[in-house]
Structure 1
Amino acid sequence: MGVSSRRKAARANRISRTLSRTVVINSLRLGWIVALVAGELGVYFYSLSSCKWPERNEWRRGKPTHVLLISDPQVRHPSVSWRRQSLRQTLYEALYELNLKRSWHVTQRLNPHAVFFLGDMLSSGKFVRSEAEYASYWRKFQQIFPGAPSSPHYYIPGNNDVGMGLSHSSPKNVRLYYSNVVGPFNRQVVIRDHVFVCLDAPGLVDDDYQRSGTPYDHWSPAHGGSVEFVKSFVHDSRPTILLSHIPMARPDSASCGPLREKGTIRRGVGHGYQNTLGKHTTAFLLNAIQPSAIFSGDNRDYCEFNHTVDLEVAGGSKSVREISIKSFSMSVHIKRPGFQLLSLVDPTTSGTSMADTLCLLPDTAKIYGSLYTPFALLTLIFLFVFNIYRSKRLRNAPLPPMSLSPLSSNDHSPNNLGAASPWSPFTPAVPLSPRNKLPPSLRTPNATPGPTMRASRPATPLGSPMLTPAIIFQADEDEDDTLYPAQYAMQRNGHIDDEEWPAPRDDPAPAFFLPAPGNPKPVAVSHGWSWTFVFRGRRRRMALSIPTWRSLLDLVSLLAPGSDSDMILRRKGLFWATIADVLGVLWPTVLLWIIFAWWML
């Protein structure tokens, strides 16, 4: 083989090692693992990297108090996963719950001082039939949204938590279950000298149905209801923040601002829901509470609208801003869920003591549609093309030459037969026999004379690579005895003694069977670490060397055996080999996703 041929062969070997199946499969596995970590965790942290607690330039009155506002978590009932449903629906329920847990996990990193949930904590609480079932349902919610002693959680009911309307199908005792398990329907909470009025909006709608057009000033509300709570509210100089699950009334043509994804909030009433409060009910709330800001939920999308409130004491009117908070859970109505951040400072006569901002969570559908799906298609196409290349390489690859003798292919001279063979266990300096120029260790007794046989490639089953022993035909020797084979001759004092039997036991063994003289010395570890210790009365040494690139490649090659894939490619064809490679690429990613899901669940 010439120099150019050897260079081409070496270049082909380097390309073959670079584009080997082991390298390709494990590179794709690494890419999928990176994509999974980025899609399941990274995008959540990245989406909140720019989400900061709002502050105003004129605030120099100490550190603000941070309040987190969340609406519509919509936690599924615990029995949903056990119902008989399609695989697609089961997978959606699992992804839905995982999304809630991941979203809450990253949101907690903002370290709020207080958290308000603006209704619809449960997606089907209004259908619960017993208090024990409601308590089990609420425990699941608390497992997804665990609280902390340093940040208390406050809840206001939504129409999916307790039902709404006189004709709703929820049990009549569901409101009793809510009050016994969750807490009161209406309450006042004071944080940083700001009064939070937590309103039971579904109960207010029920009172509005019972009122039947009677003015609120002339109507006697039910004891413990929402109207009684609003009438008993005493307004003072402190800023008041109204929290309601259902938004206030507004014109159908009112805009929701640039942060809304699409549409607006319009009036609408249906089975167990109402898009906005009534016009008279909204005026009653605004005039009775005189809020400085309003936060609501239920609509799922963000909406900002300014209401006009008549000032009864000072006269005139003022504009009150209402923010309808985005849904915290995934919804078909929006692409990106979200929540609201509210910062408070001590109120003064001049300036604003509160500031809020919107924070957006990742678009889950975009993650699967723009990250996983294209990557899966690229993986499939790449493996298909790669298997086409492999099939051509396997078809054109020559079988390796196989020799039946230990002699070199370029060595045809009988004078060179004394050279050590590659497979011999030692290389003794043995002079050639004066008769046939072969060392005694290679002579075969009573052999038939003839030439040395070689085979460049196995042509029969007997030429299999497993048949490695050499077959050498030599001239017969008359004085050879079958009981005294020449290969047992001993080497003594530099010459061959083939007239005697091997030395007795007390004689020293041949040099190639003797251990090295002296005590064995430990192998020096370069670029590594070694430790010495005493174990069972003897001093031991343990050495750890830095793994080489070759050892790492050998370890990685265990993860993607190429021989099995070559067999599949030869016997099953291109399609099944590609499917096998796709499964080989994806199983570590699926296993890692299961670990993530188990950790979150």
Structure 2
Amino acid sequence: MSAYRHAPLSIGHDYIEPPGFLRKFYDVVRHIFGHYLPHLLANARRSDGIASPRKGAQRQLRSIWNLLTALILVWMLALWWGEVGIFRNSIAGCDWHYWEKWPDGAAPHRMVLVADPQLVDPHTYPGRPWPLSTITRQHTDYYMRKSFTIIQDLLDPQTVFFLGDLFDGGREWLPPGTSGSDSRWRKYGEDYWIKEYKRFGNIFLNEWLRRAGAGLHRDHRKILVGLPGNHDLGLGNGIKIPVRRRFNAFFGGGNSIEVIGNHTFVSLDTVSLSAKGQQDSTTGRQGEGSNHEVWAPVEEFLENLKSQKSRVLDRAVRLQNDKVENDLMFHEVVGIRDPHVSKSVHTASRFEGSVPSVLLTHVPLYRAKDTPCGPLRERSPPSTKPNQDGEYLEKDPGNAIRVEYGFQYQNVLTPDISKEIIDKIGDVQSVFSGDDHDYCEVLHRGYTSPSGGIREITVKAFSWAMGVRRPGFLLLSLWNPLDETDKAIYQSRADQDANQQHRTIQTHLCLLPNQLSIFIRYILLLVLTLFTLFVRAARAINNINNDVSKTYTNGHVLPFITESKQATTPPFHDLSSALASQSHTNGLAIRSTAGRTRATSPYSFPGSLPNDHARKNYSGVSLHDDPLDERWGRGRSHDEDDDHPKRKSAAGSRLMVVWREFRRSVLLVGFPVGMWWIYLAGKF
């Protein structure tokens, strides 16, 4: 005879107004403070019945600090370091005060040189499928935008110069009516180039303008982006005039003179000048008459460079001394019928001997084959160690820039063009170039220079997609004060030797983080996290089995007794609620009164066990049975074989429980971690 315990029913005979929002809120608060908190304090009592708030707090702390929380914190720390910390640490390690060596009281002008951002586009990886191509484009933009923002925050340079190759396929997106593009890129056109221009502005220009608008920049700040590269225009006779006009209209002229820190910086469009002497692809002619429209503007700029440089230098010094900006003019009375053209009074600048010239070019100057680039080159360090004087081999093929050319590229300028540039600029102290994507430092002794050699540094690419594991940029510190007689103070000191005039410019290579290494660390942490969560889900099943077995074999708790062949409702709907219930009862599984029936029996007193007849009439659980089968309503008797279909079905159900718990734990860890990454990415 079985007796069933039913929950009491409450039947209302009168209509009651549903509770409002305030009443519901009051009930929730009263439930929390009137029921939940006393319950927590009750669980915190010692075994002798004395309350222990400290022990209760420790139990609550253990309930909060679990494996999932630990994994979330580990991921949050790893993402902060990989997305912010390592970038700030790398750039902060290049702070000016760590490497500048100026006399006390010096106020140098600080500059950053950025080379080859080369925004990734369909031209970069034509065979890369979607979405991998989109992810590559977006992440390289994010990497450069983040790096450039942190540079502004931590280093706060006064001037930023870009050394060309702003785009990767800029020469391919032709204006309307321009022929000659590869058939693969004709569908993009000029509209795509405009989008790339806006994209470049979002990465670099917006942050600069935002800081300037907020008053974070001091006076005389400059960002100069007009120097073109071969990926912006093409090279030599491959340049299309409409493409160059468009670039100059949006970014400024490729040939310019700027006086910065009492140094004259000459930017030269050497990719256009390289057409001089090349064979014209249309006429077949070769020599100075071929492709004249491409290289003639640069040649004209070089012819007038010295006089232009003198005027620009005089104007800049006058402005520094708060004098008039323009040149003086002749004052002469002429007749109305006498045509006359006014000319400015201008002679050679008196500052030229004190203000050295610096050349900025995208393509490096010519050097002898196998000229080594020094120990800071990433791809191929020097093959031998330096001698006692710190000098390396004169020839080191692995450590050198290869002297070669191909379609729309040329690793170095020709010897004739290189010599012409140095001679027409005059007094060149340093040269800074790009194009190679890796660092290279050489001392040219074959060109005319005031100190017997011109130091050239090829700057590393700023993007991590350009074949170098650690991108970078170059820091320049300029200090060249003039005295009352317009002479350079630092150069004219008696204790300085002839080579110390190079000390008006100090440089430092700053390396950015290795993004591929960061990705590898993320992947390893992801594999470890998934493995840990899977083991956790599998072990949770074993813990449930062990706890239920102990409960059923305990003399003080009887197993579930049901009517023969009567289906039972599982007391726990999933593993998560089971784990929660275990935690609530200090490890003992509570039998549900709503999901099962209860039988009265002469055996239902503490310490007694059911007889054999009773064993056959309920789905009991012994040490040889799987308690999880009973919990899910799939009990088996001792007579069933292990290969029974029901046994196999129960094993499959356990795997499903493990999978559900594993999936649930992945979501519990992944959601807050994903929100944290979105927050970090939104900062840049």
TM-score range, shorter chain: 0.5 to 0.7
Counterpart of 1:153? 223
For 2:369, the equivalent position in structure 1 comes to: 252
Partner residue, 2:437: 300
Conserved in 1, the CA contact under 8 Å of 2:123 and 2:169?
A: no
Report deviation, 1:48.
Answer: 1.3
User: Partner of 2:131 in structure 1?
Assistant: 87
Give 2:160's aligned residue. 115
Q: Structure 1 CA distance, aligned partners of 2:528 and 2:595?
A: 45
Within the candidate set 198, 207, 212, 1:139 is matched to: 198
1:196 counterpart residue number: 265
Listed as ranges, the matches of 1:68-467 within 5 Å are 68-77=112-121, 85-109=129-153, 110-130=155-175, 133-146=192-205, 147-148=208-209, 149=212, 150=217, 151-155=221-225, 156-166=227-237, 168=238, 171-209=240-278, 225-234=297-306, 236-237=352-353, 238-263=355-380, 264-289=400-425, 290-311=427-448, 318-347=452-481, 348=488, 349-350=491-492, 351=500, 352-369=503-520, 371-398=521-548, 456-460=558-562, 461=568, 464-466=592-594
Could you tell me how far apart the structure 2 residues matched to 1:271 and 1:57 are? Answer: 44
Question: Does residue 75 of structure 2 align to residue 32 of structure 1?
Answer: yes
Q: How does 1:466-481 map to 2 (within 5 A)?
A: 466=594
Q: Distance in 1 between matches of 2:560 and 2:261?
A: 90
Query: Quick one: structure 1 residues 372 and 222, their matched pair in 2 at CA, closer, same or farther if it must change by over 3 Å?
Result: closer
Measure how far apart 1:14 and its partner are: 12
The whole-number CA distance in structure 1 between the counterparts of 2:372 and 2:127 is 41
Given that 1:221 and 1:227 are in contact with CA atoms closer than 8 Å, whether structure 2 keeps it comes out as no
Give 1:392 shift: 1.5
Where structure 2 has 5 or more consecutive residues not aligned to the other structure, the ranges are 1-46, 49-55, 176-189, 310-351, 381-399, 482-487, 493-499, 563-567, 570-590, 601-631, 633-650
Worse-superposed segment, 387-396 or 247-256: 387-396
Letter of the 2:170 partner, please give it: G
CA contact (8 A) 1:32 1:586 kept: no
Cα distance in 2, alignment partners of residues 266 and 196 from structure 1: 27
How far apart, CA to CA, are the structure 2 residues paired with 1:80 and 1:277? 24
What letter corresponds to residue 389 of structure 1 in structure 2?
Answer: R
Provide the rounded CA distance (Å) in 2 between the counterparts of 1:401 and 1:381: 30
Q: Report which stretch shifted further, 357-366 or 176-185.
A: 176-185
Alpha-carbon spacing, 1:19–1:395, altered in 2? closer, same or farther (3 Å):
farther
Aligned to 1:551: none
- Structure 1 counterpart of 2:256, one-letter code: R
- Counterpart-to-counterpart distance in 2, 1:595 and 1:44: 16
Q: Summarize deviations over 1:140-176 as a string: whole Å, max 9, x none.
A: 211110224443111211111112232x3x6541011
Match of 1:587 among 649, 664, 671: 671
Q: Which residue of 1 aligns with 2:93?
A: 50
Answer yes or no: is the 8 Å Cα contact 1:118–1:157 preserved in 2. Answer: yes
C-alpha displacement of 1:208: 3.9
Q: Which one is further off, 381-390 or 263-272?
A: 381-390
Letter in 1 for 2:144: L
With over 3 angstroms needed to count, the CA separation of the structure-2 counterparts of 1:318 and 1:215, relative to structure 1, is farther
Change (3 A) 1:360 1:464: closer
- Contact preservation (8 Å) 1:78, 1:140: no
CA distance in 2 between counterparts of 1:271 and 1:85 reads 25
Deviation, structure 1 residue 114: 0.7
- Of 42-51 and 205-214, more deviation after overlay is shown by 205-214
Residue of structure 1 in register with 2:318 after alignment = none
Q: Deviations over 1:236-262 (max 9, x none)?
A: 221111000011111221111110012
Change (3 A) 1:23 1:44: same
Preserved contact between residue 277 and residue 288 of structure 2 (Cα < 8 Å) = no
**Cα pair distance change 1:88/1:318, threshold 3 Å:** same
Change (3 A) 1:222 1:71: closer
One-letter amino acid of the structure 1 residue matched with residue 518 of structure 2: I
Alpha-carbon distance between aligned partners in 2 of 1:228 and 1:172, rounded to the nearest angstrom: 16
Check conservation: 1:207, 1:221, Cα contact below 8 A.
no
| Contact 2:438–2:458, Cα closer than 8 Å, also in 1 | yes
Name the amino acid aligned to 1:267. Answer: V
After superposition, the C-alpha distances for 1:546-599 in whole angstroms (9 at most, x for unaligned) are xxxxxxxxxxxxxxxxx9xxx998351545643543343223222333344455
Contact 1:569-1:577 at 8 Å conserved across structures: no
Amino acid at match of 1:248: L
User: CA separation of 1:293/1:221 partners in 2, compared to 1, >3 Å: closer, same or farther?
Assistant: farther
Contact 2:124–2:169 (CA under 8 A) maintained in structure 1: no
**SS, match of residue 201 in structure 2:** helix
Give the SS at the match of 1:341.
Answer: strand
C-alpha separation in 1, matches of 2:675 and 2:240: 43
After TM superposition, give the deviation of residue 397 of structure 1 in Å: 0.9
The 1:251/1:132 distance shift into structure 2, 3 A limit, reads same
Letter in 2 for 1:145: F
Moved more, 139-148 or 192-201: 139-148
% identity of equivalent residues: 29
Q: Aligned with 1:91: secondary structure?
A: helix
Q: 1:205 to 1:399 in 2, by over 3 A?
A: same
Deviates more, 1:203-212 or 1:95-104: 203-212
SS of the residue corresponding to residue 112 of structure 2 reads strand
- The change in CA–CA distance for 1:309 and 1:229 in structure 2 (over 3 A counts) is farther
Report SS of the residue matched to 1:145.
helix
8 A Cα contact 2:274 2:413, kept in partner: yes
Counterpart Cα distance in 2 of 1:273 and 1:37 = 40
The alpha-carbon deviation at position 291 of structure 1 amounts to 1.0
CA 332–223 in structure 1, closer or farther in 2 if over 3 Å, else same:
closer
Aligned mates of 1:588, 1:141 — CA distance in 2: 32
Alpha-carbon shift at residue 273 of structure 1 (Å):
1.0
Unaligned runs of 5+ in 1: 1-5, 8-12, 403-408, 411-454, 473-562
Q: CA deviation at 1:280?
A: 1.4
SS for the counterpart of 1:207 is: coil
Contact 2:171–2:232 (CA<8 Å) still a contact in 1? Answer: yes
Measure the CA separation in 1 of the matches of 2:416 and 2:681: 48
- Which amino acid counterpart does residue 513 of structure 2 have in structure 1? P
Give me the whole-angstrom Cα distance separating, in 1, the residues matched to 2:431 and 2:529. 50
Judged with a 3 Å threshold, the aligned counterparts in structure 2 of structure 1 residues 208 and 342 are, in CA distance, closer, same or farther, namely farther
Q: Is the 2:236–2:273 contact (alpha carbons within 8 Å) kept by the matching residues of 1?
A: no
Residues 447-500 of structure 1: per-residue CA shift (max 9 Å, x gap): xxxxxxxx844312598423899999xxxxxxxxxxxxxxxxxxxxxxxxxxxx
Return the alpha-carbon distance in structure 2 between the equivalents of residues 468 and 384 of structure 1. 32
Cα gap change, 1:225 to 1:574, in 2 (>3 Å): same
SS where residue 572 of structure 1 aligns?
helix
Q: CA RMSD in A?
A: 4.0
- Is the CA contact (8 Å cut-off) linking 2:121 and 2:137 kept in structure 1? no
Query: Is the 1:399–1:457 Cα contact (8 Å) retained in structure 2?
Result: no
Aligned residue in 1 for 2:14: none
